[in-house]
A = this chain, B = another copy of it.
Amino acid sequence: MKQIAKIAISVGVAVLLTTPLMASKKVKWKLAETWPSTLTPLASPPAKVAAMVKQMSGGKFIIKVEGKEKHKAPLGILDMVKGGQYQMGHSGSYYWKGKDINTIWFTTVPFGMTMKEQYAWFYYADENHDGKPDGMEYMKKVYKKFKVLNFPGGNTGVQMGGWFRKQINSLSDLKGLKMRIPGLAGEVMAKLGVNVTNIPAGELYTSLDRGTIDALEWVGPGMDIKMGFHKVAPYYYTGWHEPASEMQFLVNKRAFKKLPKAYKAMLITAMKAASADMYYENFAESVDAWDKMKKEYPNIKVKSFPTPVVKAMKKATNEVMEKYASKNKLFKEIYENQQAYMKKARAWSKMGEYNYIKTCDKVK
C-alpha cells in the first residue's frame, strides 16, 4: 500500500490515496431460491437485492440468482447454503420445520401476528428486557446451528383462508372435507376432521375442478389468480392461518465473514429495502387481481368462517402449539414471548388502522 501511495503522489493522482481497495474487491455469489425466477412477488426480493448490490458496488459485487427451474431443489435451499454450494438463498423459514420446529417462528403461525406486529417483533420488541430485539435475537439463536445467517425476506401480509367448492356453515361441513392445506394449519384442520391431502402445485387446479379435492388454500388474490382457482370454486374464505408469511434470506456464514465491510452493509441494506418492497408489490398485485376476478367472476362469494368454526380452529391451534411447547423448551419460550408481545401489539393495531377502516365504512 505504501508503495502505491508513493507512486500515486509521484504522478500527482492524489485521489488514489483515498481509494479503499478492499471495498472494490470482485465478489461473485450465487443465490438459489425456492421459486421460479419469474414468479412475482416471491422472486422479487432476490432479483432486487442482486440489482441493488451490483449498482452500489459499481458492478464489483455480483449475485447470480438461480430459480428452481435451474437448481431443481426448491426445498434444498437451506442445505445448499449451509454446504456452501450457494452463498445465498431465498425461501420460507417454515419449510425447515422438519429439521427444527422453531424455524416456523420466522414465517408465520395460525392466529399469529400481522405484518406490522411481526416486523415490530423482529426489530423492536423487547419483552426479554435485554436491550436486543426479540425476533432477530431468536432468529440468530435458532439458525446458529445451521451455520447460516437468516434475515427477513419479504412478507405476503394476510393470506386468504382458501377456495371452497361449497359453503362452510358449520363444523360438520368440515368433517371429511378433502383439502390441500400444508403445515401447522393442516395439523389444525385435521383435528377438525378435515381430510388433509398433499397434491403437487401443478395438479391443484384440475383436482379442484374435478372434485378430487373440495378445497385448497394458496396465498391471496395476486398469486391465486395465476392458478385459476376462482374459475372452479366460488367460495373465497378470509384468512386465519397465515397472517403474515415472511420469506427469508439465507446467507452462508463463512461467505458473509469474508465480505469486505462495505459489501456487508450493502447486502444488509438491500435485503431490508427489498423485503419491504415485496409487501407493497404483493399488496398491489392483490388489489389488481381481486378487482379483475370479481369483475370477470361476479359469482365469487367472499366469506368468513362462522364463529363456532373459528372457535374450534383456535382451540385446535392452541392444542397444536402446546403439544410442541411441551416437547421443546425453546419453542415454549418463543411462543410465550410472541403471545405476550402480540397481545400488546394487537391493542394498538385495533385502535389504529382497524378502527380507521371501520370509521371509513360508516360513510360509504
Interface residues of A (CB under 8 A from B): 3-4, 7-8, 11, 13, 15-16, 18-26, 52, 55-60, 111, 114-117, 119-120, 122-125, 157-158, 160, 220-221, 238-240, 243, 260-262, 265-266, 269-270, 272-273, 275-277, 279-281, 283-288, 290-291, 294, 302, 304-305, 307, 310-311, 314, 341, 344-360, 362-363
Contact = CB atoms under 8 A, between A and B. Distances in A.
B238 A287 contact: no
Contact of A280 (B19, B58, B124, B349): B124
B272 A240 contact: no
Contacts of A287: 120, 125, 341, 344-345, 347-348
Nearest to A115: B353
A221 B3 CA distance: 59
The residue among A19, A22, A287 with the most chain B CB atoms within 10 A of its own CB is A287
The residue among A8, A344, A362 with the most chain B CB atoms within 10 A of its own CB is A362
A355 B238 contact: yes
Main secondary structure of the interface of A (DSSP, over half): helix
A307 B123 CA distance: 37
7 contacts: A4-B16, A20-B58, A116-B157, A116-B279, A117-B283, A160-B351, A276-B276
B310 A362 contact: yes
Contacts of A285: 124
The residue among A115, A261, A265, A284 with the most chain B CB atoms within 10 A of its own CB is A284
Nearest to A1: B13
Number of identical protomers? 2
Closest 8 pairs between A and B when the two form their complex, measured CB to CB: A276-B276, A124-B284, A55-B265, A120-B284, A272-B273, A238-B355, A20-B58, A314-B363
A348 B290 contact: yes
Given A19-B19, A240-B359, A307-B362, 14 more contacts: A15-B24, A16-B21, A20-B24, A119-B279, A238-B359, A243-B353, A269-B270, A272-B273, A272-B277, A273-B273, A283-B345, A283-B348, A288-B344, A311-B362
Given A353-B157, A357-B346, A280 B120 contact: yes
A52 B348 contact: no
A215 to B, nearest CB: 17
A52 B269 contact: yes
Contacts of A304: 355, 358-359
Contacts of A265: 52, 55-56
Contacts of A115: 353
A269 B307 CA distance: 45
Contact of A239 (B124, B349, B352): B352
B273 A352 contact: no
A314 to B, nearest CB: 4
